[in-house]
Amino acid sequence: MPAHHPLDPVALTEALVAIDSRNPDLVPGAPGERACAEFLAEVLDGWGFAVALQDVAPGRTNVVARIGPAHEAPLVLNGHLDVVGTDDMTHAPFLPHRRGGNLYGRGSTDMKGGVAAMCVAAARAAERGTLRRELILAAVCDEEFASIGTRALLDQDLHAVGAIITEPTRLAVVPAHKGFAWLTVTVQGRAAHGSRYDVGIDANRHAGLFLAALDRFEHDVLTRRTHPLLGRASVHAAEVHGGTGWSTYADQCTVHLERRTLPGESGPDALAEMQALLDALHAERPTFSATVALGGAQPPLDLAADAPLVHQMVAACRAHGLPGAIDGLSCWTDAALFAQAGIPALCFGPGDIARAHSATEWVEVEQIERATAVLESVCLAS
Ligand SMILES: [Zn+2]
């Protein structure tokens, strides 16, 4: 019975993994987070939290649970309940099982282990009765697609002293991660019979000129743009579409680019750089014609290494025998949305992002337990 769920982060991870919460924007027809959110709400209610379910869209639900004195700005612990698809998995995705000290299942590492750790940590901290500030647990929907869950949470004018996002960091303290920008380049040609070189303009070959310029841009420019925790900025041509048949000059070729951005780079910056590449190609070859549009972008995360929240996390890690290493994360997380809202945010959690979204997904049981202990200390010390 959820209302009597033990204060055990591993058992809670198993219970959460057993509920299919695949994101329906990634997997058509998937159930979404509602059932998982209802279960977790009941567990947290049984542990003494004031719990609210926030419906963000049909079937898409956040759990927001509060505990502790509300006179000062709260500390937020945030994690997502949605998981990605399961098509090529080598084991049963929603039948959690333990083997060799690891817990297997879709979402075990990304990131139900982290959600369970933060929930049990806050509950244990509150049980001691010495909380100095309110704790808000936010188990949100849709991080894997458009982050409508954390956006809806922040839209409620949330003020907080800090936010810890319990994404898998292998128990490292992660104050920085990359952002990204999606750009669509549309190369314009002129359709003509395949024999009519005098009329046709080959959009596909012109797209090739652009891709060659993009390769030089990455080599000459992006490899020199680096961050101490994140490595370098990058770009890749994720999709190329063009042409209609053997004997026709392609009238259009579209290239979908993804730019992974470093702190200091924005979506509009990435757009302006691509526009400059296209302008240079047009100057070289007047028949080259192309436009670029920004499809979507998310900002990077870059909390100062000497921020109080970083110090607290590192101290708590060391108090529990962990190195308290400070590291960067290559992927994007909801932490950037907290930072954008003016709330200092970092990531810290059990498991390895390298096993997220993969055919075999597992989390170390010991890491769940150690993350819980560290987070409990941070809840008490903050
Ligand atoms: Zn995740």
- Rounded mean pLDDT, 334-346: 97
Round to whole Å and give the CA distance between 346 and 338: 9
**Ligand 1 centroid distance, CA of 111 (Å):** 5
The answer to whether 96 and 103 are in contact (CB under 8 A) is yes
**Ligand 1 centroid distance, CA of 85 (Å):** 13
**Ligand 1 centroid distance, CA of 143 (Å):** 7
pLDDT at position 168 is 97
Amino acid (1-letter code) at residue 136:
I
- Rounded mean pLDDT, 311-329: 97
- Is residue 269's pLDDT more than 80? yes
- Is residue 189's pLDDT more than 50? yes
* C-alpha to C-alpha distances, 98 to 10, 93, 190, 363, nearest whole angstrom: 10, 13, 60, 10
How would you class 52 by CB atoms within 10 Å of its CB: exposed for 0-12, middle for 13-18, buried for 19 or more? exposed
CA dihedral 20, 349, 141, 160 (to 10 degrees): 150
- The contacts of residue 358 (CB under 8 Å, 6+ apart) are none
pLDDT band of 251, cuts 50, 70, 90: very high
**Ligand 1 centroid distance, CA of 211 (Å):** 31
**DSSP classification of residue 4:** G
> Over the chain, what is the mean pLDDT?
96
**Ligand 1 centroid distance, CA of 115 (Å):** 10
Percent of the chain at pLDDT > 90 equals 95
The token pair at 215 is 């390769």
**Ligand 1 centroid distance, CA of 81 (Å):** 9
Question: Which tens digits make up the pLDDT trace of 63-83?
Answer: 999 999 988 899 999 999 999
Rounded to whole angstroms, the maximal C-alpha distance in the chain is 82
Round to whole Å and give the CA distance between 64 and 173: 24
**Ligand 1 centroid distance, CA of 189 (Å):** 41
**Is residue 328 classed as helix, strand or coil in its secondary structure?**
strand
The answer to whether 244 and 250 are in contact (CB under 8 A) is yes
Round to whole Å and give the CA distance between 303 and 217: 28
**Ligand 1 centroid distance, CA of 237 (Å):** 24
How would you class 40 by CB atoms within 10 Å of its CB: exposed for 0-12, middle for 13-18, buried for 19 or more? buried
**Ligand 1 centroid distance, CA of 144 (Å):** 7
**Ligand 1 centroid distance, CA of 86 (Å):** 15
- Rounded mean pLDDT, 260-277: 97
pLDDT band of 2, cuts 50, 70, 90: low
Q: What is the Rg, in whole angstroms, of the alpha carbon atoms belonging to the chain?
A: 24
Q: What does the DSSP assignment read for 111-130? A: IIHHHHHHHHHHHHHHHTT-
Round to whole Å and give the CA distance between 329 and 173: 10
- Rounded mean pLDDT, 31-57: 97
**Ligand 1 centroid distance, CA of 110 (Å):** 5
Output the pTM of the full model: 0.92
pLDDT at position 139 is 98
Phi-psi region of 171 (alpha: psi -120 to 50; beta: other; left: phi over 0): left
- Is residue 165's pLDDT more than 80? yes
pLDDT band of 1, cuts 50, 70, 90: very low
**Ligand 1 centroid distance, CA of 108 (Å):** 10
CA dihedral 307, 308, 310, 313 (to 10 degrees): 180
**Ligand 1 centroid distance, CA of 363 (Å):** 13
Q: Domains in the chain, start-ordered, CATH in brackets? A: 2-177+300-381 (3.40.630.10), 179-298 (3.30.70.360)
Round to whole Å and give the CA distance between 176 and 156: 25
- Is residue 57's pLDDT more than 70? yes
- The contacts of residue 278 (CB under 8 Å, 6+ apart) are 185, 210, 288, 290, 291, 292
The token pair at 316 is 């708590």
**Ligand 1 centroid distance, CA of 210 (Å):** 34
238-245 contacts, C-beta under 8 A, 24 or more apart: 240/207, 240/211, 242/187, 242/203, 242/204, 242/207, 243/203, 243/204, 244/191
Q: Where are the beta strands (DSSP E) in 22-150?
A: 50-57, 60-67, 75-80, 97-99, 102-104, 135-140
**Ligand 1 centroid distance, CA of 249 (Å):** 44
Total residues belonging to the chain: 382
- Rounded mean pLDDT, 36-42: 98
**Ligand 1 centroid distance, CA of 212 (Å):** 34
pLDDT band of 382, cuts 50, 70, 90: confident
